[in-house]
Amino acid sequence: MTATTGMADELRGKVREFLAAHDPATTDRLEFLRARFDAGLAWVHYPAGLGGLDAPRELQPVVDAEFEKAGAPDNNPRRIGIGLGMAAPTILRFGTEEQKKRYLRPLWTGEEVWCQLFSEPGAGSDLAALGTRAVRDGDDWIVNGQKVWTSVAHIARFAILVTRTDPDVPKHQGMTYFVCDMTDPGVDVRPLRQLTGEAEFNEVFLSGVRIPDANRLGAVGEGWKVAQTTLMNERVAIGGHAMPREGGLIGMVAKTWRERPELRTPDLHDRLVRHWAEAEAMRLAATRLRQQMAAGQPGPEGSAMKLAFARLQQALTGLEVELGGEDGLCYDDWTMRRPEKVDMIGREAGYRYLRAKGNSIEGGTSEVLRNIISERVLGLPSEPRVDKDVAWKDLPR
């Protein structure tokens, strides 16, 4: 028996003991989730006292499977994905002990939803060009600026926020990272209607928002360093999900193909087989990536997974629309809605086709990800950067 196998058996035993004391059928959902966190069975690889047991990350599926088998409630991960996939690992790495104890538990239980205040109208692909200003005022910072493409800001309690605190140094050096309370005065959230008709994301205006220095993550001026942890985890969260064979969109497209033989043509068959092989290769690569993550922080490889995910999602939804013929682009509800989460599986093919267009923008554009892969994975020469040593205030805008 290996050490990992023995630890897996030990974790299964802990889950069974927990379930014996907290019957999912009779325990209040929130009480159950809080108790699970306190027992270290939320993120098993997190430190004891912060939802974990200092166990290997690779054993998380063992715990999740035991809870799922028992019919236990989950924390609605799709609704709180930004908190789970981006805010939590950043807080764990850069937060103070007080910040970890304050934020991680309600984040994991879903009591507090998080959003991400990064992109700006003039700083999307080039995030380091952002101009939202934070000016020190005693023990506080006064923040003014605009953020855009902020998913679920309309239901979020907290945000991870990157600001410009020193305009006199090059753009990557003068940034500082904060936790922003979305209920504070001066935070104005406005919906952005997108191609699907929905407004799942927003633009956020920050006008004289006062943020305590105690809400800073990392050192002053090291916001870019902190943001890199967030972005690498974001790309893994988008492209590195655990998935069974024929899980997700490839399974839906294959099901349509099998059930409607009248749609089949040699060309569509070739495309389906090619996409099926790509989906399987990506599924296996995601498994390898999660194994690499078990040994430490995610690296630039997550950019490759996110890039592949975006391309495949768009190809599959395009094929699905073609299989649907004249009804392929139709879907039931094009009214202005403000969803709390993206539902790609539970909607029609036409909705999925339109929504997938955003996959190559969110979490880093495909163009930026290709640069990251070429430089940090393949070791190719970097693109010339004439603004690298220029003070942010002197950059053309």
Task: Give the residue numbers marked as catalytic.
Answer: 234
What whole-number distance in Å separates Cα of residue 56 and Cα of residue 346?
33
Cβ atoms of 286 and 304 within 8 Å: the answer is no
**Sign of the dihedral defined by the CA atoms of residues 57, 58, 62, 67, in that order:** positive
- Span between the terminal Cα atoms of the chain, in Å: 62
Between CA 53 and CA 60 the distance in angstroms is 11
Taking the C-alpha atoms of residue 347 and residue 305, their distance in angstroms, rounded to an integer, is 24
Residue 133, number of CB atoms within 10 A of its CB: 16
Instruction: Please state, in angstroms and rounded to a whole number, the distance separating the CA atoms of residues 125 and 132.
Output: 16
Q: Which tokens belong to 165? A: 């605190």
Tokens 């994905």, residue located? 81
**Partners of 176 in the β-ladder:** 163
Our measurement of the distance from residue 104's CA atom to the centroid of its chain's CA atoms, rounded to an integer in Å, reads 16
Calculate the alpha carbon distances from 281 to 227, 243, 286, 320 in Å. 29, 12, 9, 20
With CA atoms as reference, report the closest residue to 93 among 211, 220, 213, 228. 228
In one-letter notation, the amino acid at residue 207 is: S
Question: Rounded to an integer, what distance in angstroms lies between the CA atom of residue 55 and that of residue 7?
Answer: 8
| Residue 385 phi, psi (nearest 5) | -125, 95
Distances (CA, A) of 353 to 79, 179, 249, 328, 389: 21, 34, 11, 9, 42
In 176-248, which ranges are continuous DSSP H helix? 223-239
